[in-house]
């Protein structure tokens, strides 16, 4: 499942926040829970784009379509289906 792969990527690339990421509920907002700041969120986007071979637009970020594991799961799955 996408959620598990995303969580794995985040834990691997944000080692100092691994515990927080592992405890994060699927629907919890990354920013509101102070897991990632705006700069780190850009790194998250880059990692997800690279891993899943998709493109994430600024509008997707602005519309809070990718601010939780649950939303990322839905978003990535949908984008991969568009290929």
- Taking only the tens place, the pLDDT of each residue in 14-54 is 999 999 999 999 999 988 899 998 899 889 999 999 999 99
pTM of the entire predicted model: 0.87
Which residues have CB under 8 Å from 81's CB, separation 6+?
none
> Residue 1 in 3-state DSSP?
coil
76, with CB counted inside 10 A (0-12, 13-18, 19+), is buried
Domain 2-81: state its class.
Answer: mainly alpha
């Amino acid at each position: 499942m996408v959620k598990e792969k995303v969580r794995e990527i985040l834990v691997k690339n944000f080692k100092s926040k691994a515990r927080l990421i592992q405890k994060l509920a699927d629907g919890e907002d990354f920013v509101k829970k102070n897991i990632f700041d705006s700069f780190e969120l850009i790194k998250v986007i880059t990692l997800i784009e690279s891993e899943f071979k998709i493109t994430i637009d600024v509008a997707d970020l602005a519309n809070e379509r990718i601010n939780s594991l649950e939303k990322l799961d839905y978003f990535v799955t949908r984008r991969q289906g568009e290929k």
